[in-house]
Amino acid sequence: MPHFAYVVHSNPVPGREDEYNEWYSNRHLADVVSVPGFVSAQRFCLTDSTVEGAPPQKYMAIYTMNTDEPEKTLEQLTALVETGQMHMSEAFSMEGMATHLYQAITPVVAAPAKGN
């Protein structure tokens, strides 16, 4: 089965960063991975926004998916959000949000186990 990474770049509504982070980390990631096809999620925070070429979004979430039909999986996610079946925080800013879908072209490469 093909593997995908769904990447979401976003920002909080100004002045609501704590609320945004609480909701995203403690609710939204779990809500998304409960959708069939999604298998894991992790969030990241940009460490240096002053670097040339840095994205305008401070936060990134990477969701991994195992599915033969990634577009249908994303359509299901969108439908849950649009119908209100998946809660979206008002602290999440839709302005400037960017999403990207990537298909894996290699297996995961891991460092060898370190001995003690």
Identify the bridge partners of residue 7 per DSSP, sorted by sequence position: 62, 100
Q: In the prediction, which pLDDT does 116 show?
A: 67
Q: In the prediction, which pLDDT does 29 show?
A: 98
* Single-letter code of the amino acid located at 78: T
Which CATH class for the 3-99 domain? alpha beta
Quote the tokens at residue 89. 């925080």
What are 7-61's pLDDT values in tens digits?
Answer: 999 999 999 999 999 999 999 999 999 999 999 999 999 999 889 999 999 999 9
Return d(Cα 10, Cα 57) in angstroms, integer: 5
Sign of the torsion formed by the C-alpha atoms of 31, 93, 25 and 59: positive
What are 95-106's pLDDT values in tens digits?
Answer: 999 999 999 999
Range of lowest pLDDT (54-63, 64-73, 107-116)? 107-116
Q: Given a cut of 80, is residue 85 above it in pLDDT?
A: yes
pTM score, whole prediction: 0.93
> Per-domain residue ranges for the chain?
3-99
